[in-house]
Structure 1
């Protein structure tokens, strides 16, 4: 006969109560553990939600470029709508006594995009050396929205944030490269303002950029730049000039080597 059969009825009841108590204690601990886990999950969800809200609010603030249109009173722009580069890519007045290399480019022209991508370091080298005066002529010969907005934007930044012109121009061409590579879509005026802000353009200047470049006054600036291009009978972009004369042989040696040859003219 087993030991359990030797227990009295009272002892069996006591053993049953102990087992029930042990089960209730296990259930209590399990419920407590589940509450803690559930509480942790709720807390984690709240943290994730809070972070998401912060990001959404931040993004909303970042997209809020509700400034006003500034006057199209161009600064650091030549009479034929060129923007001269100075040291560190700053937009400056044209410098005398230097060979002048003009670059007529459209931000939606694939050849212009590739040219800038391949030559941007050479541009910086000669800008900082001061042996060549690089002058960018923004045009919208492709007649796309980004062609026109991009051209207006660089005239605007050259005028109101000249110290940031080179970085903004590089960033805009980087966006163009992504578009060409089908990694991105053409930006809106507000997206161009965000590009400008990330390139260091002051907040107040970036805030007024969308209203400015979509205004009739700045559209007219781009139209006048296009007219200069047309009046010279230039056929396509990029068009490269040296001291105002169109040069066709630069592509045979590549822009970096071509700039070295032009720089030698100063010596």
Structure 2
């Protein structure tokens, strides 16, 4: 009986041993699996932390790289909190080696009944900032240009014309730069300022000035030249007016002029308030707020009122605006 029971007992012991080994092996496998999972979780956490730190580091680096670029861009467009224009942008204008000798250091052409750079004493100077493609500039020119020329030729005002190139991106062929380049060339080489003003008026004429943006239709140099010839510009000057030789200077001015605090809009929508837009008018260097012109009035009446001259006096030699050459614009309200 005992012998019959021993083999069964030994077999059971072996089975139990195997079961125990399997259990130990399974437990060890579980421990190894749990340890591997734990390590994977740790690696995942470490990897996530590393990635997060890398993103933060890159963001910090990007911020410090972009900060001066952003500040420069804001300064160039319009910083309404600044009381001075961007000195670096101004220096860049002065450093351009090839620029028109008739232009002021601020990039304007001063015109009077006496010609270029010979202002009449004791009368206001009206500054105009415009772009050949700007529709508002065209509308303004068509309204007030005949009056301004009459007053200039009568010695009642001086004009300071600033021509800009900021709307090239709204044409397919850099119209602003080509037209303004031609205007600048004519101003430098033709001694009759009336021919320059007539040329500009021709470019702003309702039947000639192209639309900006999607409605733009290409305008050739030849078409622009025809407007110069129509204004009386000599053929030899008109032929050479498209060399783009003043482009670097014009681009430097485009970066500088919008940083001048005295040219920033003081009213209007949030899109324009605190920014320089075209057309801009100044009177003796002071901003003339076109947005403040009452709806019952018009820009001609308001501008005359701001310098202290009546419409009946326009073009009459000896009848001078009341503000003189140093006064601020009078209220137009």
Alignment TM-score > 0.5, same fold: yes
1:81 aligns with 2:107: yes
Over alpha carbons, which structure has the higher Rg?
Answer: 2
Distance 1:117 1:225 in 2: 25
> Which position in structure 1 is the counterpart of 2:302?
258
Deviations 1:203-225 (A, max 9, x none): 11111112x22xxx311121122
Whether the 8 Å contact between 1:112 and 1:238 is mirrored in structure 2 is yes
Change (3 A) 1:206 1:187: same
Offset at residue 250 of structure 1 (A)? 6.8
Whether the 8 Å contact between 1:113 and 1:177 is mirrored in structure 2 is no
Distance 2:248 2:230 in 1: 27
1:199 aligns with 2:257: no
Distance 2:98 2:238 in 1: 15
Deviations 1:86-139 (A, max 9, x none): 23xx85115143211111111111111100011122112211221111211101
Q: Say which of 237, 246, 258 aligns to 1:218.
A: 246
Change (3 A) 1:82 1:152: same
Distance 2:144 2:157 in 1: 14
Offset at residue 73 of structure 1 (A)? 4.6
> Which position in structure 1 is the counterpart of 2:180?
151
The Cα RMSD (Å) is 2.9
Q: Say which of 161, 185, 203 aligns to 1:172.
A: 203
Task: Say which SS state the counterpart of residue 219 (structure 2) adopts.
Answer: coil
Offset at residue 178 of structure 1 (A)? 4.3
Deviations 1:145-187 (A, max 9, x none): 1111121111111111131212211111116754249999342
Q: Which has the higher contact order (CA 8 A, sep 6+)?
A: 1
Whether the 8 Å contact between 1:72 and 1:156 is mirrored in structure 2 is no
TM-score, length of structure 1 as denominator length: 0.63
Whether the 8 Å contact between 2:99 and 2:246 is mirrored in structure 1 is no
Whether the 8 Å contact between 1:103 and 1:238 is mirrored in structure 2 is yes
Change (3 A) 1:171 1:249: closer
Task: Say which SS state the counterpart of residue 198 (structure 2) adopts.
Answer: helix
Q: Say which of 136, 149, 163 aligns to 2:161.
A: 136
Q: Say which of 121, 125, 130 aligns to 1:105.
A: 130
> Which position in structure 2 is the counterpart of 1:93?
117
Whether the 8 Å contact between 1:148 and 1:219 is mirrored in structure 2 is yes
1:230 aligns with 2:258: yes
User: Where in structure 2 are there 5+ consecutive unaligned residues?
Assistant: 1-96, 265-275, 308-320, 326-333
Distance 1:107 1:150 in 2: 7
1:160 aligns with 2:189: yes
TM-score, length of structure 2 as denominator length: 0.51
Counterparts in 2 of 1:109-120, with a 5 A limit? 109-120=134-145
Distance 1:183 1:251 in 2: 30
Whether the 8 Å contact between 1:141 and 1:147 is mirrored in structure 2 is yes
Deviates more, 1:105-114 or 1:164-173: 164-173
Offset at residue 266 of structure 1 (A)? 2.1
Offset at residue 228 of structure 1 (A)? 2.9
Deviates more, 1:125-134 or 1:172-181: 172-181
Q: Say which of 198, 221, 240 aligns to 1:208.
A: 240
